[in-house]
Amino acid sequence: MLPVNFRSYRKKLSIYRKSFRSFLLRTEKNEPAGINKLSSAVEPHVWAEVDCLSCANCCKSMTPTFTPQDLKRISRHFNQTPEAFRKQWLKKSNNDLVNKTEPCQFLNLVDNKCSIYEIRPADCSGFPHLSKKRWSEYAHVHKQNIDFCPATFKMVEKMKLLVDGFL
């Protein structure tokens, strides 16, 4: 596993963003046969190449959505009521509870580790949702995440090569 080279990632993103988004839109609307099995097979290869702890861009530039279960679990960890935790750390955005600040208040900026990793929000534990559900159900999420997540970029890159045969 190699550390993320953010300069290289940004350069590749500027070159391939349009092509990858077009691929995602096309495969979302007309799911190729076998793409779900293919994405499950490709995912371990992505993680062999991407070291999240060298990046943490998701925690630095995005915010998870906190579910009521997340709120209860995390507030209990801090010996707070869910309401007190919400008032201290969260805000409403489009009817969702999200962090007030970016980067995430629980991210250690020295080592890119989450201080509440064991009890982190469900949205964080599932991110970047590479092969979580059917491809067509998550292609729209990948379209957003390629701008933030080198693992998502790598997944789409590999999938496009396998499905289309070219970048």
Residues 116, 80 within the same domain:
yes
- Please tell me whether residues 8 and 86 are part of one structural domain: no
Count of structural domains within the chain: 2
Is 65 found in the same domain as 23? no
Q: What is the distance between the alpha carbons of residues 167 and 160, in angstroms, rounded to a whole number? A: 6
- Please tell me whether residues 31 and 76 are part of one structural domain: no
| Domain shared by 74 and 42, yes or no | no
Provide the whole-model pTM.
Answer: 0.90
Residues 132, 54 within the same domain: yes
Q: Do 43 and 75 reside in the same domain of the chain?
A: no
> Are residues 54 and 85 located together in one domain of the fold?
no
Domain check: are 109 and 138 in the same one? no
Q: Which domain holds residue 156?
A: 2-58+128-164
Q: Which residues of 128-164 are buried (b: 16+ CB within 10 A; e: fewer)?
A: bbbbeeebbebbebbbebbebbbbbbbbbbbbbeebe
Q: Which two three-digit tokens encode residue 74? A: 């995390």
pLDDT in tens, 8-55: 999 999 999 999 999 999 999 999 999 999 999 999 999 999 999 999
Residue 27 and residue 79 in one domain: no
Please write the tens of the pLDDT for every residue from 74-126.
Answer: 999 999 999 999 999 999 999 999 999 999 999 999 999 999 999 999 999 99
Question: Is 73 in the same domain as 86?
Answer: yes
Kind plus residue range of the DSSP H or E element containing 41: helix 35-49
